[in-house]
Structure 1
Amino acid sequence: MINENIRNARKKKGISQEELAIELNVVRQTVSKWEKGLSVPDADILIQIADLLEVSVNDLLDIKPQNDDVENIAAELAHLNEQLAHKNREKALYLQAEKKRGLILLLSFMAMLITINIKNEILSIALTGGCMLAALIILYRNLSLLTKITTENMKIGTLKVTTLFNMAVLIFAVMIAIFNEASFIRLSESGEQGLALAVTCIIMLFGGYISPKLPFTRHTGLRLPWTVQDEETWNIAHKVIGFISLPLVLLYLAASCTINNFEAITLAVIFLWIGIPGLISFVFWWKKLYGKH
């Protein structure tokens, strides 16, 4: 790259950035930006640099020998400027995305601390729910940034619907928990089980509908160590969720009507809902990764 070529030629010549800057009638910071790849000199300056460092312009541009006329040099520098601008945009977007991810992680960590340390149940539920809702709002507002899926892509709509559904479930769960704790509503044991059954079935049915449509992303979906490493493995896992969700919901409803241990049934169904696609996708990933060796 031109920045490394300028730096190497300058050092080989045995002059400092300050000395080169004085000869070119620019400030030292300008030379530093060239050598860091933050900007490139224009054609006239580049010719001067080549003369001062006793190298060819082609060597600085790292291109095959051609006429060292200003027009050719300017065209090559324009191309380099375009590449540099793209690189800087990508870097800025990456840093912005990392900042948003850090904020989401911070809110999640705060929610955990609130749950552990605040003894007032209503306040704890409200603050924890608020932190998680804030994290989901940040995720929703920055889906395109975090997933690198453009707003024109139809798949961004799937992610938005999924995130909105997650918000709705979270708000509903927080409200029910607060109302129940504040004695605004009193659910019997059968009522609590019925509500839990309904919510679980809705989540599973929605998951079965939306999962096969989810794009490969680290932020929404079945985020297992192997599914987030390979897009094909990701797709296998989410297609399996789409196939098994309705049968498991029907099994869940039937078992709830015939077996008394509701908690055990719920845990078993959720384990199957996550475990079956997790196991199938792991076997697929393992064979894909190590089957050829």
Structure 2
Amino acid sequence: MIEENIRRLRKNAKMSQEDLAEKLSVVRQTVSKWERGLSVPDAEMVIKMAALFEVPVSELLGMETQAAAAPHPAAVSDISIKELTEELARLNAELAEKNKAERRMKLASQKRGVILLLCFAAVIFSANIQNQTLAACAVGVCSIAALLILYKNLALFTDTVADEMHTRALTITTFFNIGMILVVITVTMLTESGVLTLSASGEKIFATAVVAVIIIFSGMISPRLPFNRHTGLRLPWTVRDEATWNVAHRILGITALPVALFYIAAAIVADDHMKTITLCAVAFWIGIPAAVSYIYYQRKMHGRA
């Protein structure tokens, strides 16, 4: 890259940044930006630097050309002005893309920080507020705020370019999460305030329905979720490899409905053991695609896929 070449040739010429800046009639900060890849010198500066370093322009730019065996000031302009202009335009385009990507990463990091803060706040409110109605309301507000931030920044958080179908899948998933949170919070607030009365069996039915709906929905939407780091089955191996991600979510799409049906049947037959049944259902729901995708990932990484 040109920034590395400028730094290397300047040091070879035993010049400091101040020395080079003085000879080029620019400030030292300009030279520093060139060497850090924050800006690209124009054609006039490139030609001047090549002359100062006594190397061909192509060497300074890192271009592959038939340069003279021995560097000489007369050989500095070994490429045409058109070639020089095109190369600088390419470097400027690369710099613009690099800066855009860095700004995107910084903004995404800031948004993730806000979402994490809201999640921590929800946990703190849930653990420390004694009034169940108020606690449910606080947790709901934090959770929905986090999901709304996620929804507004789906394109920012998605590393790969998703088509319309995949983008719609992310949007549907986000609104489904918001809807489920609203339903659970509303029922919790109504029961705690005495407006809605649920018997012990009614509470079990409601809890079973919530878990079953989530499992069934995951099976319907999972095969359409694009490779990303915020929505889906995020495991250390699925977020590292897109093919592994696709395998995990295809398996999840196949197994979710059978798991949900067995869960509902088990809840009806053995409703006295709801905690154990729910734990087993979640273990099978997540465990099967997790195990299959892990085996696939390991085989792929070791060249056996």
TM-score normalized by structure 1?
0.92
| Aligned-pair CA distance for 1:188 | 0.7
| Residue equivalent to 1:115 | 126
Cα deviations by residue, 1:268-292 (Å, 9 ceiling, x for unpaired): 2222212222222223323333474
> Any runs of at least 4 consecutive aligned residues in structure 1 with deviations exceeding 6 A, and if so which?
none
Q: Residue 187 of structure 2 is aligned with which of 176, 195, 216?
A: 176
| Residue equivalent to 1:30 | 30
Question: Mapping of 1:27-106 within 5 angstroms?
Answer: 27-65=27-65, 67-106=78-117
Unaligned runs of 5+ in 1: none
| Residue equivalent to 1:277 | 289
- Give the stretch that moved more between structures: 200-209 or 69-78: 69-78
| Aligned-pair CA distance for 1:251 | 1.9
Letter in 1 for 2:151: Y
Identity %: 46
Cα distance in 2, alignment partners of residues 106 and 163 from structure 1: 18
Cα deviations by residue, 1:47-90 (Å, 9 ceiling, x for unpaired): 11112222221111111336343332122111111111111111
**CA contact under 8 A between 1:240 and 1:277: conserved in structure 2?**
yes
| Aligned-pair CA distance for 1:117 | 2.6
Letter in 2 for 1:199: V
Secondary structure of 2:237's match?
A: coil
Cα distance in 2, alignment partners of residues 77 and 198 from structure 1: 62
RMSD value, Cα: 2.0
Cα distance in 2, alignment partners of residues 73 and 289 from structure 1: 43
| Aligned-pair CA distance for 1:152 | 4.8
| Residue equivalent to 1:144 | 155
Q: Is the counterpart of residue 6 in structure 1 residue 17 in structure 2?
A: no
Cα deviations by residue, 1:92-125 (Å, 9 ceiling, x for unpaired): 1111111112221121122222222333322222
Unaligned runs of 5+ in 2: 67-77
**CA contact under 8 A between 1:126 and 1:178: conserved in structure 2?**
yes
Q: Residue 220 of structure 2 is aligned with which of 179, 204, 209?
A: 209
Q: Is the counterpart of residue 220 in structure 1 residue 231 in structure 2?
A: yes
Matched residue count:
293
| Residue equivalent to 1:266 | 278
Q: Residue 292 and residue 245 in structure 1: after superposition, are their counterparts in 2 closer, same or farther (change >3 A)?
A: closer
Cα deviations by residue, 1:200-224 (Å, 9 ceiling, x for unpaired): 2211211111111111222111112
Cα deviations by residue, 1:164-200 (Å, 9 ceiling, x for unpaired): 1011111111122222222221211111111112222
TM-score normalized by structure 2?
0.89
Cα distance in 2, alignment partners of residues 247 and 279 from structure 1: 17
Letter in 1 for 2:181: L
- Give the stretch that moved more between structures: 191-200 or 229-238: 229-238
